[in-house]
């Protein structure tokens, strides 16, 4: 997800309860191949740590030769696979014939897949059920016949963007088509999943090999956790949520320092600052900060306040509770 699933957030999710597989933010092939001072450069979107493996690099664009070269570079960098984004519904991108625009360019889509295979890594595709209507039969069958290793189907067509509920019957149809064709491609569903229990339920109900979760981790970073921690984060108290936010802040600063804009962090505040008294006012205070030190001071001030309230009530400070163990 754009400016969200960077190496820092993937590590935070991994600490909470890691999924079977991580994906990068989507990266244009030109950026993968970009050079700085005459040598290959590394965009922040390709930075990762060993604990994030297996990690798949998601790419986009519409130039087969760039796909082949980008796939080879990604293989040399140690990525576990290449995923082609054929589902992003942003209008200006699909109007250029890329991402969801490829749904209307099946021949080019096949060329891009063939080119990506030249890198020697497993190749998967993430797409939608159609462009301006559900077109699952034609489009999914076309992709499955290209010999890809996995196909992730988001249950909306491109022009729906994120405005309507995902149609899981269409996702189930994609899995059925794979069985009818007799291909070995793993079929993965995606759309509106917000709990671990739903993952197993959707796999059983729709005959899927797996479920990809995107925005669901905004609701619960512990979404993939098993056992007693599963599903606990939405009900956690302020101190627990702020403990995880502080871990995110520290890791972001340690990894990026001054090389990335602090303001990007504000996208994550809504994950942690909800479901407890004064969450909205605390979020407003943090959104008014412009550096790590100011953010940490605001959080420390808030924690002192709730600690004093608990002590005054005769209890132990809730700020002593730790989420990460």
Q: Provide the annotated active-site residues.
A: 88
Q: How far is CA 115 from CA 67, 121, 279, in A?
A: 6, 11, 48
Q: How far is CA 192 from CA 161, 163, 312, in A?
A: 13, 11, 42
Count CB-CB contacts under 10 A for residue 131.
18
**CB contact at 8 A, 76 and 84:** no
**CB contact at 8 A, 124 and 82:** yes
DSSP-assigned letters across all residues of 162-185? TSS---HHHHHHHHHHHHHHT---
Calpha distance 65→116 (Å, rounded): 9
Count CB-CB contacts under 10 A for residue 221.
24
- Tell me how far apart the terminal alpha carbons of the chain are, to the nearest angstrom: 27
């Amino acid at each position: 997800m754009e400016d969200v699933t960077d190496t820092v957030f993937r590590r935070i999710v991994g600490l909470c309860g890691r999924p079977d597989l991580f994906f990068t933010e989507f990266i244009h092939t030109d950026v993968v191949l970009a050079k700085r001072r005459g040598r290959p450069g590394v965009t922040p979107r390709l930075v990762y740590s060993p604990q994030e493996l297996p990690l798949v690099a998601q790419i986009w664009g519409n130039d087969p030769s760039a796909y082949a070269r980008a796939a080879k570079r990604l293989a040399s960098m140690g990525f576990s696979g290449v995923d082609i984004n054929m589902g992003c519904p942003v209008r200006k991108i699909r109007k250029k014939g890329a991402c969801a625009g490829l749904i209307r360019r099946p021949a080019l889509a096949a060329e891009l897949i063939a080119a990506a295979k030249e890198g020697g890594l497993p190749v998967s595709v993430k797409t939608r059920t159609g462009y301006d209507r559900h077109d699952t039969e034609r489009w999914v069958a076309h992709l499955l016949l290209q010999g890809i290793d996995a196909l992730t189907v988001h249950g909306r067509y491109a022009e729906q963007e994120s405005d309507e509920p995902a149609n899981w019957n269409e996702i189930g149809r994609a899995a059925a088509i794979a069985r009818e064709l007799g291909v070995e491609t793993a079929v993965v569903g995606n759309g509106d999943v917000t709990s671990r229990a739903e993952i197993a339920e959707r796999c059983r109900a729709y005959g899927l090999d797996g479920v990809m979760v995107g925005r669901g981790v905004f609701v619960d970073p512990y979404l993939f956790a098993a056992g007693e921690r599963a599903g606990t984060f939405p009900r956690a108290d302020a101190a627990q949520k702020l403990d995880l936010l502080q871990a995110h802040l520290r890791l972001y600063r340690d990894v990026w320092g001054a090389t990335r804009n602090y303001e990007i962090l504000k996208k994550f505040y809504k994950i942690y600052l909800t479901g407890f008294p004064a969450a909205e006012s605390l979020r407003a205070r943090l959104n008014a900060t412009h550096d790590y030190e100011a953010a940490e001071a605001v959080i420390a001030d808030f924690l002192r306040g709730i600690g004093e309230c608990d002590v005054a009530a005769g209890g132990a400070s809730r700020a002593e509770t730790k989420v990460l163990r």
